[in-house]
Amino acid sequence: MNKFRTKLLIAVSIIAVLVVALEILFAQIFKTYELNQMYGQIWWIISISIWVSFIITIYLGIRIKSQYTKPIEKVTKVAIELAKGNYRARASIDRRDEAEMLATSINMLAENLQELVREQEMQQDRLTALIENIGAGLILIDSRGTINLVNKGFIDIFQVEPSDYLNKIYYQVIDYEEISYLVAEVFRTEQKVKKQLLLPLAIERRYFDVYGVPIIGTDNVWKGVLLVFHDITELKKLEQMRKDFVANVSHELKTPVTSIKGFTETLLDGAMNNKETLEAFLSIILKESDRLQSLIQDLLELSKIEQQGFQLNIQKLDLHDLLVEVIPLLDGKAMAKDIKLEFISLQEPVFIQGDFDRLKQVFINLIGNAITYTPEKGEVTVRLVDQSDHVMIHVKDSGVGIEKEEIPRIFERFYRVDRARSRNSGGTGLGLAIVKHLVEAHHGHINVKSSPGQGSEFIIELKKKWN
Ligand code: ADP
């Protein structure tokens, strides 16, 4: 627009110079030829007309500039802003002519562009959120084998830096041959490939369902391969647990059943004619059936507690009272081994919210175990400590103790440190699994302090109010 102004200035200057030159020329002609007064007047008229038309020309020039050039200047500025990506720029023109139409059109264009960009940003945000939080690892490889994208899931699983992968050829950076083969297979067959891979990650091995999907554009153009990693280690563990559980249950049931069957057959084969043998065998059969019964009871109990809709019968109860009721139930067992069973409580009553029968079951189990795993003449102490908003119950014994690495495992179903000892004492290996479930159903915690030969201490923390 500055060019226009310069051109206008030059034009005005040239016209002004021409006018002055014409005046001088006419003046000279009049002087030279000494023309009369009438010609002098004509000259004046011509001169004034020239100046008037000169002024009109300048006036029109300015009008044209303000009418057409300025709005175009404004609209051009907006167009430049739009080209730069500033879609919020708008042209404001307060005239009602073609310039206004131009401004309105450019504003509409800007609005549409802004809307398009907003939509595109929204889509982009959604896509990014989806890719990053999909809960699986993703890698996108283009048709030349270059990695274009790795998501957060992949980075978290494989503990890698995105810069180590992005814009690199996949087989040069992916450390696992199985994955590279899978990608190559997708490239070769142009078909979906699904494989279950066991991959070593740092100090552990994890199971993955890996999907390789070919990406083919609408016009049948190869765009690359998408790799999806689902970590199924927990599922595999659960599957293994289920298999172990079935194997364990079968094994636990098989032992007493085999024993009962064997002794019954021997009796039927003639041993029953001997009264002493008959009595001895029958008492073994009774013991084995007791074991079977308690195993089935514990299994039913565990399955009931683990059911989704399991409900506690919550009421206000005195924990001191509850323990006073439990101790005599185990006195006989303790006395048989000459074990000193002691209950210490400094406060009374100690009210909490809980299920009386279930908590009784917890302490019978824990105190029973303490007696079982303590040699003769040992000591078992139950201590109740009231701590304002929660209570602690310590069941401490002077027994065999547990190795540090065994402690987290003793709460697993059927896990026993010493199988023979547990079985001989009538244990099912399910007691602590039931205890843990019940304590957690009460929103409590269970902790164990133990070392071999030093005895064990099971500590239960229960909130006084939690529902
Ligand atoms: P079990 O019926 O075999 O006693 P539990 O689930 O009650 O099953 O206990 C699991 C295992 O934990 C036991 O077999 C035993 O090895 C160990 N254990 C439990 N309580 C004690 C304890 N007080 N002292 C030593 N070991 C214990």
CA of 423 to the centre of ligand 1 (A): 10
Looking at the CA of residue 399, tell me the nearest atom of ligand 1. Answer: 24
**CA distances (Å), origin 294, targets 86, 290, 422:** 78, 6, 13
Question: Mean pLDDT highest for which of 47-56, 87-96, 162-171?
Answer: 162-171
The domain over range 237-306 is classified in CATH as 1.10.287.130: yes
Nearest Cα residue to atom 25 of ligand 1: 401
Nearest Cα residue to atom 7 of ligand 1: 431
Q: Looking at per-residue confidence, does 213 or 64 come out higher?
A: 213
Nearest Cα residue to atom 8 of ligand 1: 429
CA of 372 to the centre of ligand 1 (A): 8
Looking at the CA of residue 427, tell me the nearest atom of ligand 1. Answer: 2
> Residue 71 has what pLDDT?
79
Whether ligand 1 lies within 6 angstroms of the CB of 416 is answered as yes
> Residue 3 has what pLDDT?
66
Whether ligand 1 lies within 6 angstroms of the CB of 455 is answered as no
Whether ligand 1 lies within 6 angstroms of the CB of 151 is answered as no
**Of 213, 88, 44, 227, nearest in space to 151 by CA:** 227
Q: What average pLDDT does range 7-26 have in this prediction? A: 77
Percentage of the chain surpassing pLDDT 90? 55
The predicted-structure confidence for 184-232, as pLDDT tens digits, reads as follows 999 999 899 999 999 988 778 899 999 999 998 878 888 899 999 999 9
CA of 254 to the centre of ligand 1 (A): 21
Looking at the CA of residue 429, tell me the nearest atom of ligand 1. Answer: 8
pLDDT at 361 over 90: yes
Q: Which two tokens stand for residue 462?
A: 């229960």
Whether ligand 1 lies within 6 angstroms of the CB of 374 is answered as no
> Residue 49 has what pLDDT?
84
CA of 107 to the centre of ligand 1 (A): 80
| Amino acid identity, position 158 | F
CA 306 – CA 438 distance, rounded (Å): 10
CA of 365 to the centre of ligand 1 (A): 9
Whether ligand 1 lies within 6 angstroms of the CB of 371 is answered as no
| Amino acid identity, position 394 | H
Whether ligand 1 lies within 6 angstroms of the CB of 361 is answered as no
Region(s) of the chain under CATH 3.30.450.20: 134-231
Q: Which two tokens stand for residue 444?
A: 């409590």
Mean pLDDT across the chain = 88
Q: What average pLDDT does range 53-80 have in this prediction? A: 82
CA 72 – CA 377 distance, rounded (Å): 107
Whether ligand 1 lies within 6 angstroms of the CB of 456 is answered as yes
Q: Which two tokens stand for residue 303?
A: 């399955």
Whether ligand 1 lies within 6 angstroms of the CB of 397 is answered as yes
pTM, whole model, 2 decimals? 0.62
In the CATH hierarchy, which top-level class contains the domain 315-463?
Answer: alpha beta
Reported confidence tier of residue 4, pLDDT bands at 50, 70, 90: low
CA of 369 to the centre of ligand 1 (A): 6
The predicted-structure confidence for 385-423, as pLDDT tens digits, reads as follows 999 899 999 999 999 999 988 898 899 888 888 777 666
* Secondary structure element (H or E) that encloses residue 156, with its range: helix 152-158
CA 303 – CA 310 distance, rounded (Å): 10
The predicted-structure confidence for 211-221, as pLDDT tens digits, reads as follows 999 998 878 88
Percentage of the chain surpassing pLDDT 70? 94
**CA distances (Å), origin 69, targets 8, 57, 363:** 13, 16, 95
CATH superfamily of 134-231: PAS domain (3.30.450.20)
Whether ligand 1 lies within 6 angstroms of the CB of 398 is answered as no
Whether ligand 1 lies within 6 angstroms of the CB of 153 is answered as no
Looking at the CA of residue 419, tell me the nearest atom of ligand 1. Answer: 14
**Of 399, 401, 417, nearest in space to 449 by CA:** 401
Whether ligand 1 lies within 6 angstroms of the CB of 429 is answered as yes
Whether ligand 1 lies within 6 angstroms of the CB of 373 is answered as yes
CA of 411 to the centre of ligand 1 (A): 9
Region(s) of the chain under CATH 3.30.565.10: 315-463
Looking at the CA of residue 397, tell me the nearest atom of ligand 1. Answer: 23
CA of 366 to the centre of ligand 1 (A): 9
Which residues partner with 138 through β-bridges? Answer: 228
| Neighbouring residues of 223: CB distance < 8 A, sequence distance ≥ 6 | 142, 143, 215, 216, 217
| Neighbouring residues of 137: CB distance < 8 A, sequence distance ≥ 6 | 150, 151, 153, 154, 155, 156, 157, 158, 227, 228, 229, 231
pLDDT at 332 over 90: yes
DSSP code of residue 417: S
| Candidate of 374, 397, 416, 454 to mutate for ligand 1, largest count of ligand atoms within 8 Å of Cβ | 416
pLDDT at 33 over 70: no
